[in-house]
């Protein structure tokens, strides 16, 4: 194995390691929350006006809804960051190892779109970005932007967001309020995205080996 191949192996190994760590965190959190719920008193036998009832009710809300919903959201954003930043690192590695004058910033676009264009242009890595699996990145990007810019809040007549909810049905849903709607994630959405990231990096790695 030459020095360049070795460096790329290390880079991809680091990416996969980061993804596995996130996957382990998702599974671990579910186990922790399940155990926490088991330790709570049986709320139906408590008196509503009782302090113990109120405290137990608050903990149930935290363990069953608040904690997991917040964690699924932040884990998705972290996984998206890994996808985006790692792809940029691959582009930089290609640039430096080939002593190219064309840099990533010279290519139009931003984020994943720009990185995929760069790899296709200078490294002839095209096939992974033409796959059916990769096409979903636009939908994931829309969800990422919604979270970053509005914390998942969207208008009651936002057709594009409702289309995303339909596309990822059973893994995301929304809460309705008087002013707007709020996007809510399930664990399965995060696990599916981690699989999406893994598959695409494996496809890119395989292309480099050809």
On the question of pLDDT at 45 being above 60, the answer is no
Nearest Cα residue to 13 out of 75, 72, 89: 89
pTM for the full predicted model:
0.87
- Residue 202: give the domain boundaries: 3-209
Q: Rounded mean pLDDT of the chain?
A: 88
Residues contacting 80, CB < 8 A, separation 6+: 140, 144, 193
- Lowest average pLDDT, out of 39-48, 108-117, 134-143, 168-177, goes to 39-48
* Number of domains into which the chain is organized: 1
């Amino acid at each position: 194995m030459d020095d360049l191949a070795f460096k790329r192996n290390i880079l991809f190994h680091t990416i996969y390691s980061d993804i596995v760590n996130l996957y382990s965190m998702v599974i671990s959190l579910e186990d922790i929350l399940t155990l926490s719920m088991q330790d709570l008193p049986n709320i139906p036998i408590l008196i509503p006006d009782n302090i113990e009832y109120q405290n137990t009710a608050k903990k149930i809300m935290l363990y069953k809804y608040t904690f997991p919903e917040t964690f699924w959201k932040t884990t998705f954003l972290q996984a998206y960051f890994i996808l985006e930043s790692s792809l940029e690192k691959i582009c930089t590695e290609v640039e430096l190892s080939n002593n190219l004058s064309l840099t990533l910033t010279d290519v139009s676009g931003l984020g994943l779109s720009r990185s995929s264009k760069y790899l296709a242009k200078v490294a002839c890595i095209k096939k992974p970005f033409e796959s059916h699996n990769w096409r979903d990145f636009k939908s994931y990007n829309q969800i990422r932007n919604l979270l970053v810019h509005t914390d998942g809040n969207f208008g009651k007549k936002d057709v594009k967001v409702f289309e995303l909810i339909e596309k990822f049905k059973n893994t995301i849903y929304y809460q309705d309020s008087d002013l707007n709607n709020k996007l809510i994630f399930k664990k399965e959405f995060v696990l599916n995205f981690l699989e999406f990231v893994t598959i695409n990096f494996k496809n890119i790695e395989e292309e480099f080996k050809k």
